[in-house]
Amino acid sequence: MVNARLTIDPHFTVGKVNRRLFGSFVEHLGRCVYDGIYEPGHSTADADGFREDVIALVKELGVSAIRYPGGNFVSGFRWEDSVGPVADRPRRLDLAWHSTETNEVGLHEFSNWLGKVDSELMLAINLGTRGTLEALDILEYSNIASGTALSDQRVANGQKDAFGVKMWCLGNEMDGPWQLGHRSADDYGKIASQTAKAMRQIDPSLELVACGSSSAHMPTFGEWERVVLTHTYDDVDYISCHAYYEEKNGDLGSFLASAVDMDHFIETVVATADHVKAVLGSEKTINISFDEWNVWYLDRYHQVDKIEGVDNWPVAPRLLEDSYSVADAVVFGNLLISLLRHADRVTSASLAQLVNVIAPIMTEPDGPAWRQTTFFPFAVTSRLATGEALSVKLEADSYETAGYGVVPLIDAVATHDRETGLTSVFLVNRSQTDAATVTIDTAALGGVAVLEALTLADDDVYAKNVLGDTERVGLAESDSVELGEGTLTVTLPPVSWTALSLR
Ligand code: AHR
């Protein structure tokens, strides 16, 4: 049996939980858009061709802002292709994913869809193969009410009101050699600064994100952030982080501790941003937009999914359609714990991605839409983590990992909402063999009742929801919570994720 003790005090606040932490990402990649959110022939399609079964699941997931249209795709994207009469839109080669982009769904259609799922638009601009002028053009088209060439074009294209996009990513993963238009930190820092300054001449209140590293394991990690922020510190509000995790070589123990790596990533980027702040003598603080995070079997993509051939440019091919296990969902829930633990500095995050492509929601053409295992921790955390994130005191047994050394077997975070009086606790048990008894000291909360206790676990940690068996894995009400005098004891099954809601 694993043992742990957790103390929760609503006075020990880390920072406000920003709703934008529960953002996601829709890229024109594989079947995320076409045959994903959009399938005009589907039995649930609405008058605009969007699947209503998918809309219902996205709403249930509780997604705040959605980053669009890429990703690697954006570095070859000409935004003008995606507006105007659909029949006139060009078909283009998408070099990032070796596909054909039909542009049937573009800026207007996607914005319309966002209204149906109650999410905010977060746009990425192309700083790979394009520059400042095209960034200004899409900003004018999107955000100016009317009376200029591009804003009037938007109105003529059927959108009277400006889209009013607040948050803009200045390119995507510009540190990555795979990126179209990949640049050095110095070159990217200069163009990002110039573009941000120009965009702010249109609207100083925009929230701008400079590209950080595409992983903490890039050879340029750390130095990239320092150089880029030295150029852009006064011009941007956020630096981005991207991280994907997978089980490698059967080492489940290390994989289950992936959040240790995410913690380190965030803390290193915060330290680097604050170093630049000190050097520049700035009063301003740069926060993190963790705008790509997930479990992704990238090794598999490199070996199997990639499309090649000069004459082979399919429309909406099946790409990156990872199927997630219970173990994946436990790691995923733990990554959310890491994001919440850093809520003071991670004020925006985007789960990459949303439908079919490394996604919590899967669909089949002419068939069902279903929840992957990762759907559950996201939906519950998005619903319950409100108010402020708390710094919890955790003492837990530990284990040795090849990847991260000795790490705790239990990880946890809590949130407290002063307005509703609701306290939520999110926990994982990383042990592959033992259940864990966690004693939670709740004395500082006064008397509490347990409103909800939900657990994700399975005897088979590799169980998945797949076509033909779409409800194999789900949440269970935990019956192992015991209330004591100022304490709460909960038993966590091996390899499990649990959420408690208390008041
Ligand atoms: O999310 C899939 C891809 O991962 C994105 O296009 C890219 O930004 C990242 O490398």
CA of 167 to the centre of ligand 1 (A): 19
User: Taking each helix axis from N to C terminus, what angle separates 258-280 and 326-341, rounded to the nearest 10 degrees?
Assistant: 30
Find, among 371, 362, 274, the residue nearest to 32 by Cα: 362
Which distant-in-sequence residues (6+ apart) come within 8 Å of 343 by Cβ?
14, 15, 16, 17, 18, 21, 388, 389
Is the shortest distance between the CB of 71 and ligand 1 below 6 Å?
Answer: yes
For residues 219 and 367, is the Cβ–Cβ distance under 8 A?
no
Task: Look at the block and give the residue holding tokens 């609701």.
Answer: 422
Report whether residue 72 contacts ligand 1, using a CB cutoff of 6 Å: yes
Testing ligand 1's pocket by substitution, the residue of 33, 68, 72 carrying the most ligand atoms inside 8 A of its CB is 72
State in Å: Cα 46 to ligand 1 middle: 29
pLDDT of residue 305: 84
Residue minimizing CA distance to atom 6 of ligand 1: 71
Residue whose CA is at the smallest distance from ligand 1 atom 2: 71
Q: Are 309 and 371 in contact (CB under 8 A)?
A: no
- In angstroms, the CA 70 to CA 442 distance is 43
Helix 132-143 / helix 149-156 crossing angle, nearest 10 deg: 50
Distance 209 CA to ligand 1 centre (A): 16
- The single-letter DSSP state of residue 503 is -
Q: Is the CB of 172 under 6 A from ligand 1?
A: yes
Residue 408 Cβ inside 6 Å of ligand 1? The answer reads no
Q: Is the CB of 24 under 6 A from ligand 1?
A: no
The alpha carbon of 293 and the centre of ligand 1 are apart by a number of angstroms equal to 10
Mean pLDDT by 10 residues, the chain (503 residues): 96 97 98 98 98 98 98 98 98 98 98 98 98 98 98 98 98 98 98 98 98 98 98 98 97 98 98 98 98 95 88 96 98 98 98 98 98 98 98 97 98 98 98 97 94 98 98 94 94 98 96
The number of the ligand 1 atom at minimal distance from the alpha carbon of 176 is 10
Give the pLDDT of residue 302: 85
Spacing, Cα 434 to ligand 1 middle (Å):
36
Q: Which residues are marked as active site?
A: 173, 292
Q: For residue 454, give every residue at least 6 positions away whose Cβ sits within 8 Å of its Cβ, in sequence order, or none.
A: 376, 380, 475, 476, 477, 478, 498, 499
Name the nearest CA neighbour of 211 among 178, 179, 177, 175. Answer: 175
Query: Looking at this protein, which amino acid is placed at residue 243?
Result: A
Q: Whose CA is nearest to atom 5 of ligand 1?
A: 71
* pLDDT in the model for residue 479: 83
Task: Please indicate whether residue 292, judged by its CB atom, sits closer than 6 Å to ligand 1.
Answer: yes
Please report, in angstroms and rounded to a whole number, the separation of the first and last CA atoms in the chain: 28
DSSP secondary structure, 401-416, as one string: ETTTEEEESEEEEEEE
Distance 212 CA to ligand 1 centre (A): 13
Q: Give the pLDDT confidence score for residue 14 in this predicted structure.
A: 97
Which residue's CA lies nearest to atom 4 of ligand 1?
Answer: 71
Q: Is 352 in the pocket of ligand 1 (CB under 6 A)?
A: yes
Q: Ligand 1 atom closest to Cα of 244? A: 4
- CA 262 to each of CA 34, 125, 241, 295, 360: distance values in angstroms, whole numbers, following the listed order: 32, 26, 10, 12, 20
User: For 203, left (φ over 0), alpha (ψ -120 to 50), or beta?
Assistant: beta
Query: Is residue 289 within 8 Å of residue 209, measured between CB atoms?
Result: yes
Shortest CA distance to 339 belongs to which of 295, 297, 298, 288? 288
Cβ neighbours, 10 Å, residue 285: 12
Cite the beta strand spans of 172-221 per DSSP E. 207-210
Our answer on whether the CB atom of 104 is closer than 6 Å to any ligand 1 atom is no
Nearest protein Cα to ligand 1, atom 8: 71
Which residue bears the tokens 């077997």? 409
Cβ 107 under 6 angstroms from ligand 1:
no
